[in-house]
Amino acid sequence: MAASRGVTIGVLAVVSALALTACGSRPADSTAAPSAGGGAAFNACMVLDTGGVDDKSFNQSSYAGMEAAAKAGPNIKISYVPSNTANDYTPNLQAEANKKCSTTIAVGGLMADNVKAVATANPTLKFAEVDSAASGPNVYGMQFNTAQGGFLGGYLAAGMTKTGKVATWGGLNIPPVTIYMDGFWEGVQYYNAQKGKTVQVLGWDEGNQKGGTFAGSFTDQNKGLQISQTFVQQGADVIFPVAGGAGLGAGAAAQSSGGKANVIWVDTDGCVSASQYCQYFISSVTKNLSGAVQTYLTQAAGGTFPTGNYVGDLKNDGTGLAPYHDFESKVPAELTTEINQVKADIVSGKIAVKSPSQPTS
Instruction: Please spell the DSSP secondary structure of 5-37, one letter per residue.
Output: SS-TTB----GGG----BTTB--S--EE-TT-S
For residues 2-9, average pLDDT: 35
Whole-prediction pTM: 0.86
Quick one: pLDDT band at residue 361, thresholds 50, 70, 90? low
263 pLDDT more than 90: yes
What is the predicted pLDDT for the residue at 33? 44
Give the separation between CA 63 and CA 83, rounded to whole angstroms: 14
Residues whose CB falls within 8 Å of the CB of residue 336, separated by 6 or more in sequence, listed in order: 7, 8, 9
Give the separation between CA 223 and CA 228, rounded to whole angstroms: 9
Where do the domains of the chain lie, and which CATH numbers do they carry?
Answer: 15-144+289-312 (3.40.50.2300), 146-288+318-348 (3.40.50.2300)
3-class state of residue 106 by DSSP: strand
How many degrees, rounded to 5, is the angle at CA 64 between CA 58 and CA 66? Answer: 110
What is the predicted pLDDT for the residue at 39? 60
What is the predicted pLDDT for the residue at 8? 35
